[in-house]
Chain A
Amino acid sequence: AQSVTQLGSHVSVSEGALVLLRCNYSSSVPPYLFWYVQYPNQGLQLLLKYTSAATLVKGINGFEAEFKKSETSFHLTKPSAHMSDAAEYFCAVSYFGNEKLTFGTGTRLTIIP
């Protein structure tokens, strides 16, 4: 069975500081990995995805994530946080032949002015 674990249900960073949101996956086959963002009172929208091409994936709004097979990780980063980044972020996994996403429990990101 596939699963993802997001470390830290709440993360706070200062405006302009590095954002690092952690995601580790469990999958017995090569995974597809996703990061979604949910702004208040909105649905989820895709930030970026890894589908077995380049291991460093760039997404919208300056976010990127690196697939590290040896560490079974897919951490999300952004060099400089902006107030508009405050939201909840979800990591998700699927794989070829079972394209139903399994979500992590989410990380709420707070930006400190």
Chain B
Amino acid sequence: DADVTQTPRNRITKTGKRIMLECSQTKGHDRMYWYRQDPGLGLRLIYYSFDVKDINKGEISDGYSVSRQAQAKFSLSLESAIPNQTALYFCATSDIRNTGELFFGEGSRLTVL
């Protein structure tokens, strides 16, 4: 089984719908992240959490919210999805003892029509 698991892997939805992407990890890491990947733009940080009580905005947090339900679970929500949120979303974890090295899930492809 993967160390970082994302669900769903693929989702097609309509404008205005609420969407939740879930991430769970078995690596025992305290730090969790949500990134968005768009062609030609690389990966951009949406939100990150350094522990259960610590939630921080990244560079593109508008239109998104997160919840850290437990050390191992970090979910990303789109309260009212819009077409320009169509992207590939990645959850990642890191260990506080490392240098920022990230461990990624396999991604959740979201299409907003």
- Is B22 located at the chain interface by the 8 A CB criterion? no
Q: Are A90 and B42 in contact (CB under 8 A)?
A: yes
Q: Are B43 and A90 in contact (CB under 8 A)?
A: yes
Q: A7-48 interface mask toward B, CB cutoff 8 Å, 1 = contact, 0 = none?
A: 001000000000000000000000010101000011111100
The prevalent SS among residues of A at the interface is strand
> Which residues 62-112 of A have a CB within 8 angstroms of B?
90, 94, 96, 99-106
Q: Are A99 and B100 in contact (CB under 8 A)?
A: yes
What is the CA–CA distance of A101 and B105 in the complex, to the nearest angstrom? 16
- Is B12 located at the chain interface by the 8 A CB criterion? no
Q: B85-112 interface mask toward A, CB cutoff 8 Å, 1 = contact, 0 = none?
A: 0000010001000111110111100000
Residue of A nearest to B56 (CB): A100
Q: Return chain B residues, CB-CB under 8 Å to A102.
A: 45
Q: Return chain A residues, CB-CB under 8 Å to B74.
A: none
Residue of B nearest to A108 (CB): B39
Q: Return chain A residues, CB-CB under 8 Å to B40.
A: 9, 105-106
Q: Are A103 and B101 in contact (CB under 8 A)?
A: no
Given known contacts A99-B94, A100-B48, is B102 in contact with A44 (CB within 8 Å)? yes
Q: Return chain B residues, CB-CB under 8 Å to A45.
A: 104
| A93 nearest CB across to chain B (Å) | 9
What is the CA–CA distance of A90 and B33 in the complex, to the nearest angstrom? 17
A43, A49, A99, A100: which has the most chain B beta carbons within 10 Å?
A43
Q: Are B106 and A42 in contact (CB under 8 A)?
A: yes
Q: Return chain B residues, CB-CB under 8 Å to A106.
A: 40, 42
What is the CA–CA distance of A45 and B99 in the complex, to the nearest angstrom? 15
Residue of B nearest to A51 (CB): B99
Q: Are B104 and A43 in contact (CB under 8 A)?
A: yes
B: which residues have CB within 8 A of A?
A: 4, 33, 35, 40-45, 48, 58, 90, 94, 98-102, 104-107
